[in-house]
Structure 1
């Protein structure tokens, strides 16, 4: 007789839904000749000097625990990085934690600040882990839906209208995953005024801060009055092509850090030692490669946006990250139907927009962190799929200019 386990399992855990991104990634991985534009992962290998530093640390026998918040030398370098790149000052001794990925940093933030029933506003479309992490911490996620009319950007008016007496915090990601929308300094100032008015905490996910293409990046913590109420999340995965290393950075006023560090001590101890030495090298000697990767992503973005619009999918130009979020409403298909049919018929994997929240329905997320040959072939296959649905855009040519 099969044992029934449901009554042993947490109700919160039972209600969690599997990641919609992983669903399509796992399906694509089981098929041959698939071009994946699904997972948000650079196609670049981690730069050699970073890998070499991690290898050297092993050869030198640096295999013991580090201090709970991370190597002091690494925290000092993170402090220097945040100051010189983003004009925010954090004390490496008591305001920074090196985490196991940016996702863990977000998890720690929610566990540290939320009481049962506290509401967290989440700007959607949003990365799939945000709402579940709020729920796991006992909070209530509340979506603020943005629209393509203003490039999927949060406005101060939208924020004001979503706040209730239970609202404790807001989480947003700029540049955004999945839309690539990026809030500039003036837009952040308008949001900051509402945050201060209602005495909110801000969790600012800045994991894509290195990947902005037209404007200088502004950290939310750098906005006047926001440093004291911001928990800043960043990491090495995207800008440094270190996804599999699982290293993040968390910076905040020490009153927040003290609480998060207690949770971190009991759940993790510290991030892997040898990987921290790699991260140290990344911050010291790798920005020439970061800038080269950024230039490549910008060219790919220009090509993909230009081509999608030409072949019949309306697509705004994202200001950062490495995603586009085109509308597929012209096909008459739902986001999931479009993604499933495209994968099965043309072997191109994309992510249906509805997994990023209700406002993502009618869109798909495509990552352009793939090689140009793969992107070019993927665009041809998508065009063929669209033509099978009666959507005929301009014919592609081999002379599309991408170096703009």
Structure 2
């Protein structure tokens, strides 16, 4: 489709890299990367996987699919190896689902900036539905029912609802009761639920209950995941999907595999070696996951504190590594500075303070709102050594390199309104 722009988060990340290389001092909060070094045992498995130079099965080799089946089963989703597919990232799997399943797509608003463009590339209508006050990642149930009714009256055909557990961009997790409400609506309206659970292993408190729609509505839920966020392997591109059991689930899986066979063939062999090891979750992987979740939670909560202290309204983060503040309480003061919407707020933060965020309108939010996403995972240090130090620290907020950048953020938002 000619004229399409690069995904805004990727474009912003490239712009920051260019400006930093030119000598600017920027605090980059605009890109959702788990900014940590690759875990050493994963490097070992990558090297060992170099021997896997054959194409192999499109859906993935038996070892990686067995490991994934165990991964999902341990999360209360009993799974057979023939229910899963691996791919070079979860993005291709989400796109292949759009290629396979007809109908328009219902999305929480705001949401990750890739869901809507993927639907639109396939000629579908992306229908944004406001999120509840308590959390993001799911549409508000009453608003969802109304959006379905209104869409059908306008001649649209909503068939898919996407949820994100935990959520990007708000850094929150929908509670079980809310997940059950969404599942009940999906049953009533005959919707496919696509549950993006790539942040599932980045819940800050290990005692928090995560309920997947696949536990409540197993016949109509596809779950996607990957290793980009939990194990900081974004550049390695390892994603996976779990399909429902039964004839319809098999047809969905077959459709995705058919698309895969024509687009990416299969996940690269060395990455399958990594995935088979990581999804089997030996003790050292479980320990690494726990340490990263603690770090993400500690820094996200501190950035949340800073935002609220500066006058924003912001949902407390409980998962992933984001905060999503709303500066509506300061609209009058910001308007006097020429800040009237998400774009001008983003530009003001960059131009006046060197702090880079992702403006809310890129996430499907109201362009006139004073909201943005801040990715707190970018604050652990500029070197692998600093990042590992943050990961190992009992209190990462006391480390000088973490404390200094947090202080700069606090000074920025303290001075946001003179």
TM-score (norm 1): 0.86
RMSD between superposed Cα atoms in Å: 1.9
Residue number among 73, 79, 82 corresponding to 1:90 in the alignment: 79
Aligned residue number for residue 356 of structure 1: 363
1:98 match: secondary structure: strand
Task: Name the CA distance, whole Å, in 2 between partners of 1:53 and 1:385.
Answer: 42
Q: Deviations over 1:331-376 (max 9, x none)?
A: 3322222222222232221111111013473111111112155654
Q: 1:45 to 1:246 in 2, by over 3 A?
A: same
SS in 1 for 2:2: helix
Map 1:14-93 → 2, pairs under 5 A: 14=2, 16-31=4-19, 32-58=24-50, 61-84=51-74, 86-92=75-81
Distance in 2, Cα, partners of 1:217 & 1:308? 26
- Distance in 2, matches of 1:385 and 1:33, equals 13
**Which residue, out of 355, 374, 380, partners 1:366?**
374
Distance 2:417 2:141 in 1: 40
Cα distance in 1 for partners of 2:63, 2:203 equals 28
Q: Which residue of 1 aligns with 2:182?
A: 191
1:314 Cα shift? 2.7
Distance 1:383 1:87 in 2: 41
Query: Match for residue 270 of structure 1?
Result: 266
CA separation in 2, counterparts of 1:311 and 1:141?
A: 34
Give deviations 1:10-68, integer Å, cap 9, x for gaps.
Answer: xxx2363432223332222122322211111112112110111110222xx22111211
Mapped contact 1:97–1:249 kept (Cα < 8 A): yes
**Secondary structure of the corresponding residue to residue 258 of structure 1:** helix
Match of 1:222 in 2: 215
**Residues 1:137 and 2:122 are matched in the alignment:** yes
Post-superposition offset of 1:382? 3.8
Name structure 1 gaps, 5 residues minimum.
1-12, 392-404
1:342 paired to 2:327: no
Q: Is residue 244 of structure 1 aligned with residue 243 of structure 2?
A: no
**Structure 2, unpaired ranges of 5+:** 244-248, 381-396
| More displaced stretch, 160-169 vs 228-237 | 160-169
- Contact 1:77 1:280 (8 Å CA) reproduced: yes
Q: Which residue of 2 aligns with 1:213?
A: 204
Question: How many Å separate the matches in 2 of 1:344 and 1:140?
Answer: 35
> What are the superposed Cα offsets for residues 180-225 of structure 1, whole Å, 9 maximum, x if unpaired?
22112111111111110111111111111111224221111011xx
Q: How far apart are residue 127 of structure 1 and its match?
A: 0.8
Mean Cα deviation higher: 199-208 or 311-320: 311-320
Note if contact 2:33-2:229 (Cα within 8 Å) is conserved in structure 1.
yes
Structure 1 residue 102: deviation in Å? Answer: 0.8
**For residues 343 and 106 of structure 1, what CA distance do their matches in structure 2 show?**
32
Q: What pairs up with 1:168-179 in 2 under 5 angstroms?
A: 168-179=159-170
In 2, the alpha carbon distance for the partners of 1:289 and 1:387 equals: 35
Separation in structure 1 between the aligned mates of residue 18 and residue 230 of structure 2, nearest angstrom: 28
Deviates more, 1:124-133 or 1:314-323: 314-323
Q: Give the conservation status (yes or no) of the 8 Å contact 1:354–1:362.
A: no
TM value normalised by structure 2 = 0.84
1:400 is matched with none
Higher mean C-alpha displacement, 69-78 vs 340-349:
340-349
CA contact (8 A) 1:368 1:375 kept: no
SS at match of 2:251: helix
Number of aligned residue pairs: 369
Tell me how far 1:383 sits from its aligned partner.
Answer: 4.0
> 2:410, 2:44 → 1: CA distance?
42
Matched with 2:279 is 283
Cα gap change, 1:36/1:375 in structure 2, threshold over 3 Å: closer, same or farther?
Answer: farther
Q: Is the 8 A contact 1:100 1:247 kept in 2?
A: yes
Q: 1:387 to 1:299 in 2, by over 3 A?
A: closer
